[in-house]
Structure 1
């Protein structure tokens, strides 16, 4: 082979290299990009998984704290309810003592009994009206009015009669 054949062969090789080289570079660049993208995606997935785990742990901690707070609230509520019940008992006892010091023949319990009886008679009146028993309904209404009047007088007397402090001491 002559020298010009060598030059032509090298030139053709050089031309083929210049033609193929951009394709090879582009393919290498795409592969590198895809590998980097996959690596970044994997890193991002790991980061998200870690954040998710931290969020779950925080949620569990908050749930535990909420349960503790709820139990403390229930205990406080039970204590307050017991305190309220005790105070109501004390109030009832003190009212009974005050009423006993007034020297009246009736007490607050008697007044409440009269009110309850009046309500029962009103219910009987409504029931008898619905049953078209007008005579009995009128009688129940009249008795309810009488008991209401008696209850009002007892209530007025209970309110107007002062407690005698000398008897309590």
Structure 2
């Protein structure tokens, strides 16, 4: 009779113990599975980063090659424009015109500097030179404008 009374408690305890062991085994298995999945995901991420780095390096090399090609083409275009301008008999180029404009602005700066230093004769002389340079630049500009444009881009004419 005692056995019949204790037997349901023992069966319940054995069932709980078996459930706890099974639960722990399942949890361990699940943790191991997740650990493997995490390792695989990290490896895939590393592989993708390496591929991205290779692609980025390849893109940088291609970009540098294209930039070098573009620079070479621009240099060639500039040389050809200079040749065209020399064939037209025009003694000046747009680059010469731009240099004159820069020189004029430099003379205007010198004029303002001399005026700030209270040196009026030098300021007047700088203003006169700037005016002369401006007149020369205007004549060059008119000459460049009146010359037929032989280039396709129109960069040679002002």
Shorter-chain TM-score range: 0.7 to 0.9
Matched residue, 1:151: 137
Quote the Cα distance in structure 1 between the aligned partners of 2:101 and 2:77: 20
> For residues 53-132 of structure 1, what are the structure 2 equivalents within 5 Å?
53-125=39-111, 128=113, 132=116
CA shift at 1:67, angstroms? 1.6
Q: Which deviates the most, 105-114 or 73-82?
A: 105-114
Within 2, Cα distance between the matches of 1:24 and 1:125? Answer: 111
Shift of 1:156: 3.0
Aligned in 2, Cα 1:119/1:66: closer, same or farther, shift over 3 Å? farther
User: For residue 7 of structure 1, what is the aligned residue in structure 2?
Assistant: none
* Deviation string, structure 1 residues 89-130 (Cα, Å, up to 9, x no partner): 11111111111122123223321221221333344456x28x
Q: Give ranges in structure 1 of 5+ residues lacking alignment.
A: 1-13, 165-169
Distance 1:29 1:139 in 2: 111
Q: Is the Cα–Cα contact under 8 Å of residues 102 and 163 in structure 1 kept in the other structure? A: no
- Which structure 2 residue ranges, 5 or more long, are not aligned? 151-158
Higher-helix-fraction structure: 1
Number of residue pairs matched by the alignment: 148
- Whole-angstrom CA distance in 2 between matches of 1:70 and 1:140: 54
Q: Which has the larger radius of gyration?
A: 1
Cα-Cα RMSD? 2.6
Larger displacement relative to structure 2 (60-69 or 149-158)? 149-158
Counterpart CA distance in 2 for 1:103 and 1:66 is 55
In structure 2, which of residues 17, 26, 30 is the aligned counterpart of residue 31 of structure 1? 17
Determine the C-alpha separation between the residues in 1 that align with 2:75 and 2:43: 48
1:17 — aligned with what? 3
